Amino acid sequence: MTNALVTEEQHAQLLANGQAIAMGKQNDPLPVVRLFTPDAHVTWLLASLDPADSDTAYGLIDLGLGMPALGHVKLSDLASIVGPRQQPVMRDRYFQATRTLSDYARLAKANGSIVD
């Protein structure tokens, strides 16, 4: 199952990362996709999908409250979110990860938001 928020290629990479994590072969992948709300300052850097349901993503979540954290979110839930001006969650088409998920998380916690 794919979702309009991620491309087929990104979905495949997210699943591959999720499978590697489930098998103990990987524990700190590069984020694959950056999603955001253009009118609510919320950002998700997603690194993997649970191979059991292909919908539960894991990554760095920044709700714009100064407390970014690692966690899980369902892509299907993100697809239904709209911000205060009715703007949907969007994919950053130009995002290219430059560090591992744990490095993004460490920097985000130090800065109070996702940096990059």
Quickly tell me which residue has 């253009």 as its tokens: 38
Q: Could you state, in order of their start, the residue ranges of all structural domains in the chain?
A: 8-111
Backbone angles phi, psi at 95, to 5 degrees: -65, 130
Report the alpha-carbon distance of residue 101 to residue 116 in Å, rounded. 12
Q: What span, in angstroms and rounded, lies between the C-alpha atoms of 1 and 59?
A: 19
Q: Coil, strand or helix: which one is 88?
A: strand
User: What pLDDT is recorded for position 3?
Assistant: 64
pLDDT at 1: 43
pLDDT recorded at residue 100? 96
pTM as predicted: 0.92
Please spell the DSSP secondary structure of 2-61, one letter per residue. Answer: --TTS-HHHHHHHHHHHHHHHTTS-SSPPP-EEEEETTTTEEEEEEEE-TTTS-EEEEEE
Chunked into runs of 10 residues, the chain (116 residues) has average pLDDT values of 81 96 90 94 96 96 94 95 90 96 96 90
The pLDDT assigned to 84 comes to 85
